[in-house]
Structure 1
């Protein structure tokens, strides 16, 4: 009986070690993910890291002559969003093998995996919690 128990414990520990190794490999891959996006004219290229943060920005010299500052800024923002969406998809694909079959990896990464659509809607402000009649100039912040 004790040998069976010991074998079960060893099997559980081996499974735990395999899961931990797999989780470590996925974590290492997630931390090194990066994606790039380049404008159609090739003037601007952005690269984002694992969390969608801009890590590299390449602007070709001629971009300053061809684009106005607001156009260049808009291109950078748009390309950063595109690259961030790509890195998010890659992260979802990376973690998908670890998740139960019915789990949406993108929702998990957004932190909304177990929330219903109703729970994701912002709550309206509490009608009783209005500060429009309060004055910061009166002692205690009392009403005017």
Structure 2
């Protein structure tokens, strides 16, 4: 039979284990709630002329696109495409901000949730470089350009 001091040590140890298990369960519940909240994040943006509305999901993916019928008469194809890309980027930025708000309460103090979501949380400003873009002149349409070279040339 264990001595009284051994019983006290066992009881203390059991209390510590119970407390650790309770903390773990609370953390798991909180993690589940954060995952559900992040999965539900989405944002929609409508163009100023109300011709195009895009909706972006939690991962920044395009989940909805509404194009008013008159947009096809008002905008040239490249203008419509540019509008969709522009609105999708704006909606993705809104999603990142919303997801950051969901994450902020569970992150360590001083962590920028938006930087974490962008994958730049541990980088300095000089290490974060904007992605290179191949800008196409917005007036360029390719409508009268043939992609087939005469005589099979390459």
* TM over 0.5, shorter chain: yes
Partner of 1:126: none
Q: Which has the larger radius of gyration?
A: 2
Q: How does 1:33-52 map to 2 (within 5 A)?
A: 33-52=41-60
Matched residues, number:
122
Q: Distance in 1 between matches of 2:10 and 2:123?
A: 44
Q: How does 1:80-95 map to 2 (within 5 A)?
A: 80-95=88-103
Within the alignment, does 1:117 sit opposite 2:125 as a pair?
yes
1:113 Cα deviation from its structure 2 partner: 1.4
Q: Distance in 1 between matches of 2:124 and 2:48?
A: 38
CA RMSD in angstroms comes to 1.5
SS of residue paired to 1:56: strand
TM-score computed with the length of structure 2 as normaliser: 0.75
Structure 1 stretches of at least 4 aligned residues deviating more than 3 Å after TM superposition: 117-122
Unaligned runs of 5+ in 2: 1-8, 131-154
Unaligned runs of 5+ in 1: 123-144
Q: Distance in 1 between matches of 2:51 and 2:129?
A: 39
SS of residue paired to 2:69: coil
Partner of 2:28: 20
TM-score computed with the length of structure 1 as normaliser: 0.80
